[in-house]
Amino acid sequence: MKFNKSIAGYHMLVLLSEVDGYFDDAEKAVVEEYIQKNFPIPINLETENKVLSTLPRELYMEHFIKVANDFYFDSNEEERIRFLDFAFKLMHADAKLSREENIFIDALYTQWDMGVDE
């Protein structure tokens, strides 16, 4: 199943927020802001939350890469950069940058070939 970029972005943010084993109110606020800015009409995320809540932890990275690819193919560079802003805001929302969050954001940079040009 292919996800549109808004849903794919939602999945990535939820996974980033869950990967360190702790989802706090500050992270929730970032996810809510993403929903507000990226879903033009109100949306019921019940199906998406069910998919994410039943996803075994050992499959987080695999699913993250899959939805990162879905997002990539439906977006342009400006949209990807805007998404990265949300991802970084989320990662820093709880004032702790975990090793797991860093691994996931590094994987996203690699997947999207967002390396720094030299």
Q: What is the pLDDT of residues 76-108, one digit of tens each?
A: 999 999 999 999 999 999 888 889 999 999 999
- 72: tokens are 């990539």
CA atoms of 10 and 12, how far apart (whole Å): 5
- 62: tokens are 């695999």
Residue 56: what residue type? P
Task: Tell me if the pTM is above 0.85.
Answer: yes
pLDDT score recorded for residue 116: 53
Nearest to 9 by CA among 72, 51, 54: 72
In tens, the pLDDT along 16-63 reads 999 988 888 999 999 999 999 999 788 889 999 999 999 999 999 999
* Domain ranges for the chain: 5-111
